[in-house]
């Protein structure tokens, strides 16, 4: 899936271009990128992710972009010294973004 997604650069983002994020729970993260795209990121569990004031995403595969299906490490002072393993789920459509509660929109 990640290979197919890479063909469409609009479905990928550079981690250093994340401008805002929200974590409605310890399994889901939404990030807004510099081009105003919003991506859903999932993890089995990331302790205290909802309390994070800052995050960093590092691609596991060494790529400079993250695409749906890719794995990444999420680092944040709130989640402790060990990074959380996350998966880029998808880029949200306008309808999906509008359907989110306002408190969950980055």
pTM summary value: 0.89
> Pick from 91, 73, 92: which is nearest to 13 by CA?
91
Token couple for 81: 């010294």
Q: Alpha-carbon distance 71 to 88, whole Å?
A: 6
Q: Per-residue pLDDT tens for 82-91?
A: 999 999 999 9
pLDDT, mean of residues 15-19: 96
At 33-55, the pLDDT tens digits run 998 899 999 999 999 999 999 99
Close Cβ partners of 8 (under 8 Å, ≥ 6 residues apart): none
- Residues 45, 38: Cα–Cα separation, whole Å: 21
Q: Is the Cβ–Cβ distance between 33 and 18 less than 8 Å?
A: yes
């Amino acid at each position: 899936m990640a290979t197919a997604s890479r063909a469409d650069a609009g479905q990928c983002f550079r981690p250093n271009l994340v401008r805002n994020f929200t974590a409605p729970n310890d399994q889901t993260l939404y990030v807004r990128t510099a081009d105003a795209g919003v991506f859903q990121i999932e993890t089995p569990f990331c302790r205290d992710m909802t309390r994070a004031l800052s995050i960093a995403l590092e691609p596991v595969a060494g790529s400079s972009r993250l695409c749906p299906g890719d794995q990444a490490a999420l680092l944040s002072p709130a989640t402790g010294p060990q990074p959380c393993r996350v998966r880029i789920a998808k880029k949200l459509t306008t309808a999906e973004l509008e359907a989110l509660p306002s408190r969950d929109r980055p």
